Structure 1
Amino acid sequence: MDKSVSARAKTGVEGLDDILSGGLSRRRVFLLEGAPGTGKTTIALQFLQQGALLGETCLYITLSETEEELRDSALSHGMEIDSNIAIFELVPPESLLNADQQQSLLYSSDLELGETTKMIFEAFDKLQPSRVVLDSLSEIRLLAQSSLRYRRQILALKHFFARTGATVLLLDDMTSDSLDKTVHSVVHGVIHLEQLAPSYGSERRRLRITKYRGQAFRGGYHDFTIKTGGVSVFPRLRALEHRTEFERSTLTSGIVELDTLLGGGIERGSSTLLIGPAGTGKSLFALQFVDATVKRGEKAALFIFDEELGLLFARTKALGFDLEGYQRDGLIHIEQLDAAELSPGEFAQRVRDRVASFNAKTVVIDSINGYQASMPEENALILHMHELLQYLNRQGANTFVTVAQHGLVGDMKSPVDVTYLADTVVLLRYFEALGKVRRAISVIKKRTGKHEETIREFKIGRGGLSLGEPLSGFHGVLRGVPTFVGENRPLLKSGEEQSDPK
């Protein structure tokens, strides 16, 4: 086993060990800080639970919660505190709780802090644990009453634990003095937890490693959630760390006219942006490639923000795509996402898991509008999308992303400009001709080769998509108000159509 890994105490928290480059350095003291409710106790319990599974003796010293509360908290996550985990509930001596026996000439805090420290040392010496959690430093800070005395106390604890060889996790709820950085300079590493409350939706939690002596770690903020079972951390995605070898080839859609428009098809390991106003058929074009993926014997993953799955299954089946059947046969993974309950980091992790475990070769994100809604108070959408698309490209997956523009015809705007991120940009438009509203498609950009520079009309019917010949007799089709400039080829004949709400 690699020595650098064996010297780490795994935290038992999914994703956190990855951020910490394997876990916490053994025989060192670490600080886990955050406001009440950010998940400190849950992470601490998982840390001790992991040690117990490895046969290590563990000790939880609590100054703020009772043993009964801790056991109930563990049971709520399905964790049973076994004989390898001892809970020491530290309470002041009974004499210190009696007002009649409080000292008048000698400050009672001197007695309380001394007694508290003594009981901590006695509990440790009795058990000799490998892992220790001390919850919480706020109580010790209050007993110390001065910054100098508090620092001396923390140094005393650190030196004591250093001699014993235990890996120690100090918890701090930051309620007494959030600006006091005394412990930061003393401990070996600091894990900072935050809880954010957006104007709508559930709370968002994130963590950051602010210090780790002598060890590289994954910097920046990382989203995490607390669910039944404990804390799950979603490491920030870095596409540069993930590269696979695959054969680049051209993949077709199954529609000759569409493949011709695309210059033969889409190159494997590339991203395609489908952009246009609502109802033009963006989702349907993505599903056309999903259908072609399944018929090639490969798998696809769809992440739907904007539509209820029952409605999606019903309307696409009428258009010739049996998504429900594909899902039942294990050919596609389709997931409906709630933007109000999902953080960007969790979404990226879900996509990564599907590509890795399901071996999805086509990924559909429908739509960027919904993805943007999952981060209403964050300004890093472009960076999130850049890393995610680069990651998928490096895995040899084809990604199709839809963006709904504001407006129907004329001057339309996108909620966010991600056209420069995609390898191929397909533009869908409404236009009026001969007294009818029609749809047009064109390829604006393709990095991986040549494409047709024409504009084609398309229709959505019960057989799915059908494309016509290039519209050579009109000018201004993409603006939605075309002008007849010469003899044109016939438009697609009207037939039985089914409107596409996407």
Structure 2
Amino acid sequence: MMQDPVRTGIPGLDEVLLGGIQRNNNILVEGAPGAGKTTLGLGFIYAGAAHYGEPGVIVSFELDPEKLLRDARGFNWNLQGLIDERKVKIIQTSPAVLLNEFRSSDGAFTAELAAIGARRLMIDGLTPLRLYAESNDKPFREDVHLLVEGLTRLGVTTLVTAERAEGRQESHAHERFVFDTIISLTRTEVRRRVHRTLSVVKSRGQDFISGSHSMRIEAGAGILVYRRAQSRPMVDEDQPTSTERISVGCAALDLIMDGGLYEGSITMVTGISGTGKTVLGVQFLTSAVKAGRRALLVTLDEHPRQLIRNAASLGFDLEGLMRQGSLFMHYESPLELELDVHFDRVAKLVEKEGIDCVVFDSVAVYEMASPDQAPAFLYALADFVKGRLATAFFNYESPELLGVSQISEELKGSHLVDNIILLSYVEISTRLRRAIAVPKVRGSKNIQTTREYVIGAGGISLLDESVVDGEETTPVPQLPFSSYYGLLARSPSRKSPVIEDAVAHGKALPDSPELPPETAP
């Protein structure tokens, strides 16, 4: 662990740096125009002076001091107040003047830093120094060495910004070698929206969280860094477990699942649109609240107002439970979803409110938002939930009636979750009926049967022989395997009434061999 680290004060960045940066390190922040280099440097100086008792100096070659003050005001940073208190100083100069100052051991620049007791320095940026060297036919490498040696003598923690075109890191190979810490920023467009990332390339004398982390620049806040979800601590051999069971919210379904869900388990509820995945999720959460638990519904498919309205039509008072403080709802639009940011918000809400049960509706949105990151993200999400012994539903809208064995080609559902509940439509003659099956309940003796269910007041109800809407109904009949295009999907293919009658009575089909006995119901 570092002794007396320098905290950057950038939300999330110190977490990535495992506490901060080694004191007196020279930091290079590189990135393309608009990536956020100056904003990050400005935040570094402001946080030091405002929160950590470390006065700072800003050296600018291009931006007028008034523009820096204007930018700071946009983030609610009172930089002018710190200047008036002699905790921050802005120096606008030229590369030639600055380099001459470093050639002198007791120049005016050193005196300026000493006058306010500076502990931090920002130089914005390295590119003007390069252009100055090139225009005067001087080797830029020598100027870089002069700069770094001068900064080291000053005994301050220095942040220097540098322009870097995307995909052209090799042009800055030398300065990347001599600086102690390198932070790389990127700005790309993903589906016509801007996505920023931050990665720590190296940082001498310390460990850090590698990889690409999401970054945002927000009004009133400045730079916000969200560590990649996959880097969060994984559950070790001491993962908490429990033998306590939690009701799904439907007694008949609890019976099929050998008494309900184990506390701390993850259940994937999958099926095509309209089969009742959200209904079952709401049913589970309201049942959990009645049992004294705290619940969270993460909704990505529906806006909360619409979800509350639809739930009320089935007798669920979600708004009342939210007013009581026992149910929480978190909504983010799929159009602007960033997985690292989303994970951070959900994790903080779960930890702050002590959530016991959570429904994610629907995890298919994660695949839509970022197909390449979704598999690892869901593993990280599952690990986080299990680490808190929270019981979770992962609702997944399968584009087909089969597909129970995996969430996607890359992510196998059986590895990720403990339980699988399959909701599907069964077409019998010309009528669609809903069927439920539970192919997997880890650590339990689940009943391997398919049951018909209906959606009404109170949510999902499983049927035995009964009357629904004035019609006599029976459980979904067992049909020959040959009539299914997906066994677990329980969805028979269309056949003519003649074929259906032959199957139902074990008769031979016209112009075909007699049906084997095992195909008869």
* Match for residue 230 of structure 1 among 222, 229, 237: 222
Say whether residues 1:139 and 2:136 are aligned partners: no
Q: How does 1:90-169 map to 2 (within 5 A)?
A: 90-91=93-94, 114-115=99-100, 122-128=108-114, 129-145=118-134, 149-169=139-159
Q: Letter of the aligned partner of 1:7 in structure 2? A: D
Q: How does 1:46-445 map to 2 (within 5 A)?
A: 46-52=43-49, 53-81=51-79, 82-83=82-83, 84-91=87-94, 114-115=99-100, 122-128=108-114, 129-145=118-134, 149-174=139-164, 178=169, 179-200=171-192, 202-228=193-219, 229-237=221-229, 238-241=231-234, 245=240, 247-375=242-370, 378-407=371-400, 417-420=411-414, 421-433=416-428, 435-445=430-440
CA–CA separation in structure 2 for the residues paired with 1:158 and 1:138: 15
1:252-282 CA distance string (max 9 Å, x none): 1232101012121111111111111110001
CA–CA separation in structure 2 for the residues paired with 1:288 and 1:118: 73
Say if 1:248 and 1:6 are closer, same or farther in 2 by CA, change over 3 A: farther
Judge conservation of contact 1:458–1:468 (CA < 8 Å) in 2: yes
Say whether residues 1:467 and 2:462 are aligned partners: yes
CA–CA separation in structure 2 for the residues paired with 1:239 and 1:397: 17
Judge conservation of contact 2:406–2:413 (CA < 8 Å) in 1: no
Judge conservation of contact 1:405–1:415 (CA < 8 Å) in 2: no
Task: Give 1:121 shift.
Answer: 5.6
TM-score (normalised: structure 2): 0.82
CA–CA separation in structure 1 for the residues paired with 2:384 and 2:407: 24
Say whether residues 1:24 and 2:10 are aligned partners: no
Q: Is the partner of 1:181 in helix, strand or coil?
A: helix
Q: Letter of the aligned partner of 2:176 in structure 1? A: H
1:314-344 CA distance string (max 9 Å, x none): 1111112111221222212212211221211
The gaps in structure 1 that reach 5 residues or longer are 93-110, 488-502
CA–CA separation in structure 2 for the residues paired with 1:148 and 1:460: 78
CA-atom RMSD, angstroms? 2.8
Say if 1:413 and 1:163 are closer, same or farther in 2 by CA, change over 3 A: closer
TM-score (normalised: structure 1): 0.85
Task: Give 1:302 shift.
Answer: 1.5
1:416-463 CA distance string (max 9 Å, x none): 554131111111110123642110011122223221100011100133
1:131-168 CA distance string (max 9 Å, x none): 00010000001111199822221221222222221001
Say if 1:251 and 1:414 are closer, same or farther in 2 by CA, change over 3 A: closer
Say whether residues 1:33 and 2:30 are aligned partners: yes
Q: Letter of the aligned partner of 2:366 in structure 1? A: Y
Q: Is the partner of 1:389 in helix, strand or coil?
A: helix
Say whether residues 1:480 and 2:519 are aligned partners: no
Counterpart in the other structure of 2:447: 452
Say if 1:463 and 1:293 are closer, same or farther in 2 by CA, change over 3 A: closer
Q: Is the partner of 1:360 in helix, strand or coil?
A: coil
CA–CA separation in structure 2 for the residues paired with 1:123 and 1:184: 25
Task: Give 1:246 shift.
Answer: 6.0
CA–CA separation in structure 1 for the residues paired with 2:232 and 2:253: 31
Judge conservation of contact 1:133–1:170 (CA < 8 Å) in 2: yes
1:454-483 CA distance string (max 9 Å, x none): 001110013321112464544448341287
Using the TM superposition, name which of 127-136 and 463-472 deviates more.
Answer: 463-472
The gaps in structure 2 that reach 5 residues or longer are 465-474, 494-499, 506-521
Q: How does 1:7-22 map to 2 (within 5 A)?
A: 7-22=4-19
Task: Give 1:239 shift.
Answer: 5.0
Task: Give 1:65 shift.
Answer: 1.1
Using the TM superposition, name which of 286-295 and 115-124 deviates more.
Answer: 115-124
1:175-225 CA distance string (max 9 Å, x none): 59752211111011111111120123x211111111111211111111121
Say if 1:429 and 1:324 are closer, same or farther in 2 by CA, change over 3 A: same
Using the TM superposition, name which of 120-129 and 247-256 deviates more.
Answer: 120-129
CA–CA separation in structure 2 for the residues paired with 1:230 and 1:6: 28
Q: Letter of the aligned partner of 2:442 in structure 1? A: R
Q: Letter of the aligned partner of 1:77 in structure 2? A: F
Judge conservation of contact 1:193–1:206 (CA < 8 Å) in 2: yes
1:115-139 CA distance string (max 9 Å, x none): 5757996334322210000100000
Say if 1:65 and 1:335 are closer, same or farther in 2 by CA, change over 3 A: same
Say if 1:78 and 1:242 are closer, same or farther in 2 by CA, change over 3 A: farther
Q: Letter of the aligned partner of 2:129 in structure 1? A: I
CA–CA separation in structure 1 for the residues paired with 2:347 and 2:385: 8
